[in-house]
């Protein structure tokens, strides 16, 4: 068994591309869920908005890729308003229902045959990311070249993705951190605690909730753009429920209502995933049997890893409900 390779995989995933676009999505989700208390179970839809925004530019509209950023933001704002207008006046659970349904509706629309000409159907969109990759080449990163040291060696293309991705993480991390230190952030946190109290003090709660939902959604759309540009394609089934809940898992793992938690949580999620996955693959080189019954074989690893992650999350919630970076003192007042 090569334990070195296991750790190597884990570390590379910890700082890898998956962790990076998950972190962007989690920063956005944290604005809505962590700070404002909005149960957004449709972050995947916002990510799809961003991804299809950049994807459609070259492939469908035939315009420059960079318009995609504006289009993606536009889609995300539209989606946020669409979900928020009917639900934000109601109790929190209605938003949860509407967002989870909207995310599925978005995914079914973009993969439908009917809108194939707009969204590319089940094949998705591809061949739009050249302009983005050219920038990497222009700053001296050869797509096929090898860069880095020790285990941290990446192809030029990967390195470019990581550089852009982690820069976005840093930018959005700083923006959200500063916003939450401002009086605006104070209102959001107060809304999370008690809407009516905030309303009685003269704040338009509905408007603040809308701002939070849209801002979180727009940040989420950047995660989608990053995913689309990094993979150089958009696949409708990337934006399933799993994506939303994995992002949420990462956020909870790291600790809600903390910017550090929303960044390091997804990193831990992917680091842990890679660690368990490689470890199990190393251990199960031949099927494990009890008598005639096959307990586990190498094809089961993927499923078992998710089971183990689930158990770990439950254990974490029992013994450290505030997440790894959460504020324990804050959690102490959960019961009011």
Partner 1 sequence: MKDADDQSAAEPAAADAPSELSEYARVAKAALAGVSPEPGAKKPDPILTASGIRRAFGGIVAVDVEHFEVQRGSITALIGPNGAGKTTFFNLMTGFDKPNTGQWAFDGVSMDGVAPHRMAARGMVRTFQLTKSLTKLPVIENMKLGATGQKGEKWWNGLFPWRWKAQEAEIEARADELLKRFKLDHMRDEYAGALSGGQRKLLEMARALMTDPTLVMLDEPMAGVNPALKQSLNQHVRGLRDLGMTVLFVEHDMDMVHDISDWVIVMAEGQVIAEGTPDDISSNPAVIDAYLGAHQGKTLLEDQV
Q: Which is nearer to partner 1, 142 or 194 (CB)?
A: 194
Position 205 contacts partner 1 (CB under 8 A): yes
- Given candidates 193, 283, 295, 297, which one binds partner 1 under the rule CB under 8 A? 193
Cα distance between residue 334 and residue 336, in whole Å? 6
Given 190, 284, 296, 308, the residue binding partner 1 (CB under 8 A): 190
Shortest Cβ distance from residue 273 to partner 1 (Å)? 31
151 binds partner 1 (CB under 8 A): no
Interaction of residue 36 with partner 1, rule CB under 8 A: no
């045959």: which residue's tokens? 113
Provide the minimum distance between the beta carbon of 107 and partner 1 in the complex, in angstroms, as a whole number.
Answer: 29
What is the rounded distance in angstroms from the CA atom of residue 317 to the CA atom of residue 86? 32
Can residue 92 be called a binding residue for partner 1 (CB under 8 A)? Answer: no
Site for partner 1 contains 171 (CB under 8 A): no
Q: Considering the complex, what minimum distance in angstroms separates the CB of residue 242 from partner 1?
A: 31
Please identify which residue in 64, 153, 182, 242 interacts with partner 1, judged by CB under 8 A: 182
Residue 202 is a binding residue for partner 1 (CB under 8 A)? yes
Among 126, 189, 241, 320, the residue binding partner 1 under the rule CB under 8 A is 189
Supply the minimum distance, in Å, between the C-beta of residue 335 and partner 1. Answer: 9
Q: Which is nearer to partner 1, 7 or 184 (CB)?
A: 184
| Structure tokens that stand for 137 in this block | 């080449």
Q: Does 179 bind partner 1 (CB under 8 A)?
A: yes
Least distance between partner 1 and beta carbon 1 (Å): 46
Should residue 211 be labelled a site residue for partner 1 when binding is judged by CB under 8 A?
Answer: yes
Which tokens sit at 279?
Answer: 């470890």
3-state helix/strand/coil string of the chain: CCHHHHHHHHHHHHCCHHHHHHHHHHHHHHHHHHHCCCCCCCHHHHHHHHHHHHHHHHHHHCCCCCHHHHHHHHHHHHHHHHHHHHHCCCCHHHHHHHHHHHHHHHHHHHCCCCCHHHHCHHHCEECCCHHHHHHHHHCCCCCCCEEEECCEEEEHHHHHHHHHHHHHHHHHHHHHHHHHHCHHHHHHHHHHHCHHHHHHCCCCHHHHHHHHHHHHHHHHHHHHHHHHHHHCEECHHHHCHHHHHHHHHHHHHHCCCCHHHHHHHHHHHHHHHHHHHHHHHHHCCCCEEECCEEEECHHHHHHHHHHHHHHHHHHHHHHCCCCCCCCHHHHCCCCC
Smallest separation, CB 180 to partner 1 (Å): 9
- Using the rule CB under 8 A, is 130 a contact of partner 1? no
| Binding-residue pattern over the window 244 to 283 for partner 1, x denoting contact by CB under 8 A | ----------------------------------------
Question: Which residue among 197, 283, 311, 317 contacts partner 1 (CB under 8 A)?
Answer: 197
The residue from 16, 68, 80, 185 that contacts partner 1 (CB under 8 A) is 185
For the CB of residue 317, give the shortest distance to partner 1 in the complex, in Å.
18
CB–CB of 298/285 below 8 Å?
A: yes
Q: Could you tell me which of 223, 258, 163, 273 has the C-alpha nearest to residue 22? A: 223
Span near partner 1 by CB under 8 A; candidates 188-196, 244-252, 279-287, 312-320: 188-196
Interface ranges with partner 1 (CB under 8 A): 175, 178-179, 182-187, 189-190, 192-194, 196-205, 211, 215, 329-330, 332-333, 336
């Amino acid at each position: 068994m090569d334990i070195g390779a296991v750790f190597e995989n884990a570390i590379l995933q910890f700082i890898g591309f998956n962790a990076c676009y998950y972190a962007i999505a989690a920063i956005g989700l944290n604005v809505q869920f962590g700070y404002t208390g909005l149960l957004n179970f449709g972050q995947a839809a916002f990510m799809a908005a961003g991804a299809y925004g950049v994807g459609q530019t070259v492939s469908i509209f035939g315009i420059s890729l960079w318009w995609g950023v504006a289009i993606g933001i536009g889609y995300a704002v539209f989606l946020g308003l669409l979900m928020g207008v009917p639900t934000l006046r109601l109790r929190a659970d209605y938003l949860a229902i509407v967002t989870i349904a909207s995310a599925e509706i978005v995914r079914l629309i973009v993969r439908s045959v009917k809108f194939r000409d707009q969204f590319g159907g089940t094949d998705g969109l591809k061949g739009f990311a050249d302009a983005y990759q050219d920038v990497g080449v222009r700053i001296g990163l050869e797509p096929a070249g090898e860069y880095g040291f020790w285990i941290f060696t990446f192809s030029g293309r990967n390195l470019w993705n990581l550089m852009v991705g982690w820069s976005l993480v840093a930018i959005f991390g700083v923006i959200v951190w500063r916003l939450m230190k401002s009086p605006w952030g104070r209102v959001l946190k107060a809304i999370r605690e008690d809407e009516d109290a905030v309303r009685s003090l003269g704040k338009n709660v509905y408007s603040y909730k809308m701002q939070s939902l849209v801002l979180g959604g727009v940040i989420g759309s950047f995660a989608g753009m990053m995913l689309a540009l990094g993979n150089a394609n958009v696949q409708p089934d990337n934006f399933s429920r799993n994506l939303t809940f994995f992002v949420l898992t990462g956020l909870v793992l790291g600790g809600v209502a903390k910017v550090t938690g929303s960044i390091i949580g997804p990193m831990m999620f992917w680091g842990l995933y890679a660690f368990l996955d490689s470890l199990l693959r190393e251990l199960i080189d031949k099927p494990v049997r009890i008598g005639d019954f096959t307990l586990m074989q190498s094809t089961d690893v993927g499923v078992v890893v998710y089971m183990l992650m689930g158990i770990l999350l439950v254990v974490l919630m029992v013994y450290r409900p505030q997440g790894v970076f959460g504020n324990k003192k804050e959690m102490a007042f959960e019961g009011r």
